[in-house]
Amino acid sequence: ISINSYSFLAITIHWITKDWRLQDKLLDFIDFSGSHSVKNLCNTFIKSCHKFGILAKVNNKMILYLYKFEI
């Protein structure tokens, strides 16, 4: 067992085109250091969405719920 551990967060996006084809892409792949708390995960996700200018397009109701209650 290695004492070195690295954490990463992969964010994928999924959408349906106008002609009803499912699309998916890797949006971001982040070196994720620090606590894996809901707060830290949500903050990292939101920063990535800001970076790509898509936060307004994200269905984020569950993220906001988790962030609010730190589930």
H runs (alpha helix) in the chain: 38-52, 61-69
Prediction pTM value: 0.72
Q: Which of 67, 15, 25, 23 lies closest to 45 in space, CA to CA?
A: 67
Q: For residue range 6-59, what is the model confidence (pLDDT) as tens digits?
A: 899 999 988 899 999 999 999 999 999 888 888 888 889 889 999 999 888 887
Location of structure tokens 């830290």: 40
Domain boundaries, the chain: 8-69
What distance in Å separates the CA atoms of residue 50 and residue 53, rounded to the nearest whole number? 5
